[in-house]
Structures are given as C-alpha cells and as structure tokens.
Structure 1
Amino acid sequence: MSTSDRRVVALLRQVVAWLVARDFVAVEARSRGVQLSAELMRQAVEEYGRTLVMPPDEAFLDIDAIAAANSDGRIWSIRFDLWTQEEGRSDLSLECNVVIDNGTLDIEVDNIHAL
C-alpha cells in the first residue's frame, strides 16, 4: 500500500497513540467495537509486559498493508509493529483493517499479539 493516503496514516497514528496512552476504550469506540474489545486489547498489552511508546515518524512511512481480495482498494489489511521503551521496535504488532467507503475511513482492530 502506498502510504501517500495521509488519512490512513493519520488514523493509524491516532490508534497507536491511544494504545500508547492505554486508552483502549477510545480504540474500541473508534473501531465501533468490531472484533477486539478494549478489555482484550488491554490484556494483550499487559501480557506482553513492556511499556508501549510512539514509534518514530519513519515507522509510518512504510506500512505493511495489502488490499483485500475483490475490494478495489477499499479495504486494506494492515500489520503494524508496535514500539516499546525497552526494545524499540518490538515483536508486538497491531493487526487491523481500514475500510475506505465514500471518503469515510473506518477501522477494525483484529488483533494485538507478539509475532
């Protein structure tokens, strides 16, 4: 995926910022509760046992994303490495789908887990 769509990058950056701030309720609200609940997100981060921090700006330049089959570029499956104070780029990743529909962006958080 070209990260030239600044709206996708901005949305991903906002979700990561909420995760770093441990505002899992905000992530759940933005994702409309589809897939992963705030409690499951909290549990995944706590079980990882390290302190999330905002990635450097460069991390948002090359987002690992693929277009969903037959979606005509409207649905993007994204895997984004999260960063920790202890490790820098960590094994913990955010997996989500961004849906672009009539100029509106929606996000669905599928998983937060260690690879």
Structure 2
Amino acid sequence: MSTLDRRVVTLIKQVVTWLVDRDFVAAEARSRGVRLSADLMRRAVEEYGRTLVLPPDEAFLDIDAIAVANSEGRIWSIRFDLWTQEEGRSDLSLECTAVIDRSTLQLEIENIHVL
C-alpha cells in the first residue's frame, strides 16, 4: 500500500461513499461510464441484498492494489472489499483501475461482485 498514491486512496474512499449513499450516478460520472453503468452498479448492490456501510478508516490501509507493469503513466488494478451493516467486511468487492497520467487521475469502475 505504501506505493499507492494517496490521491487514489482518497478517490476509492469517495467511490465507496457514493456506493454507500446509493449515488450510483455520481460513481458512473466519475468513472466516465467506461465499463460499469449506474444501473449495473445499483443491480449488483441490490442483488447482494445487504446494506452497504462505510468501512472503518483502517480498511483503506489495506487496499488490494497491483501496479500494472510496462504501462504508460502509473496504473493500478484495485480490489476493495465493501462492508455491510449485517456482516462488516463482506464478500462484495469493488474492482476498478486507477490511472495517473501526469497530474490527471482517471478511474474506471470495472465490477462490483461477490468473490
């Protein structure tokens, strides 16, 4: 985690907050709707059938992020466990790609699914 840019951690926190708040449109807009639409995000959360909650701050110290080798700019493939009121850390995960190109930070939400 020490090599993961703090801006990426901040962005993951924001995306998780949008998911918890059920603001799937904001999450889609931030990821430019490249891979996962607001409707698909909503469906994944609803089908899981539990209430998303914000994880403790410590959870963001353990983001599963892998740097993509031989890539232009800095690219990370990220998996983050979502938390629910019923379970705490759940089996539902957010998968996304973060790209830092010069000073620009882009995000693509790829999947929300059970592992």
TM-score after normalising by structure 2: 0.95
The one-letter amino acid paired with 2:51 is T
Residue 78 of structure 1 aligns with an amino acid whose one-letter code is I
Matched, 1:106 2:106: yes
User: 1:79 corresponds to which residue?
Assistant: 79
Which residue pairs with 2:58 in the alignment?
A: 58
The alignment yields a C-alpha RMSD, in angstroms, of 1.3
Unmatched segments (≥5 aa) in structure 1: none
Correspondence for 2:17: 17
Instruction: Name the counterpart of 2:5.
Output: 5
Quickly say closer, same or farther: Cα 1:4–1:76, change in 2 above 3 A: closer
Moved over 6 A (4+): none
Q: Which residue of 2 aligns with 1:97?
A: 97
Between the aligned partners of 1:109 and 1:34, the Cα distance in structure 2 is 8
Contact 1:74 1:100 in 2 (8 A): yes
TM-superposed deviation, 1:23: 0.2
Give 5+ residue unaligned stretches, structure 2.
none
Q: State the TM-score, normalized to the length of structure 1.
A: 0.95
- The number of equivalent residue pairs is 115
Matched, 1:69 2:69: yes
Distance 1:73 1:2 in 2: 18
Secondary structure at the residue paired with 1:15? helix
| Secondary structure of 1:70 counterpart | coil
Q: Percent identity?
A: 81
